[in-house]
Chains A and B, each alone.
Chain A
């Protein structure tokens, strides 16, 4: 999995590309979120536009990241869900947990100031 990171105001935008799967992408995603928290960034937007696969480990890490960020008083939201990733979030009913956006400006504006 590849990733790019940028800060827009006080929001850390993490763009992921490829597979969020066991032993590779899942660990990398957690590391990116932990790095954001270590930098004092508690508003995190995960851009999943180029994610092709997310297995149960990847979903588990995503939930773990979500709760870790929330415990730190922050928020983690999702941007640009590809149809198959959306299907998986629907099936697992996690679509009810995450705030999901398909427009970056709207997603950024949704974080509390």
Chain B
């Protein structure tokens, strides 16, 4: 799915996640938290990656394997991103900062979070949630 860089489109992607997840019997509680991570990945791509440019798109892939895992990839057309520069938002000196929690959200709600160079020069974020029956 290719989306224009508008925040309203986050709702579309979350709706698609719901469709895919329910088709594969993913429970609502799990879908809620995957949805929160998806929202953060998209917000990151739209705001920090594409800088809200109408000329740039965000590419979203959502796959679910019943009783195994949900895999999401979100790719922007920005200039790339270095996740190693992020600070811990829960450390006392950062607790009252008004930004810098997006990646933390993703890591909190998903089992795997990977940042890769995208094919289009931007950032590709891959998220994996292992489902209860697929957990090691």
Contact = CB atoms under 8 A, between A and B. Distances in A.
Given A23-B8, A60-B101, A92 B43 contact: no
Nearest to A68: B98
B96 A63 contact: yes
A22 interface: yes
A21 interface: yes
Contacts of A91: 108
Interface stretch (A41-49, A51-59, A100-108): A51-59
Contacts of A59: 101
Interface bracket on A: 20 to 34
Interface string A82-101: 00100000011110110000
A17 B113 CA distance: 31
Contacts of A84: 32
B31 to A, nearest CB: 12
B90 interface: yes
Interface of A: 21-24, 53, 55-57, 59-61, 63-64, 66-67, 84, 91-94, 96-97
- Of all A-B residue pairs in the complex, the 9 with the closest CB atoms, nearest first, are A23-B7, A56-B101, A64-B98, A60-B98, A56-B102, A93-B90, A22-B43, A91-B108, A60-B99
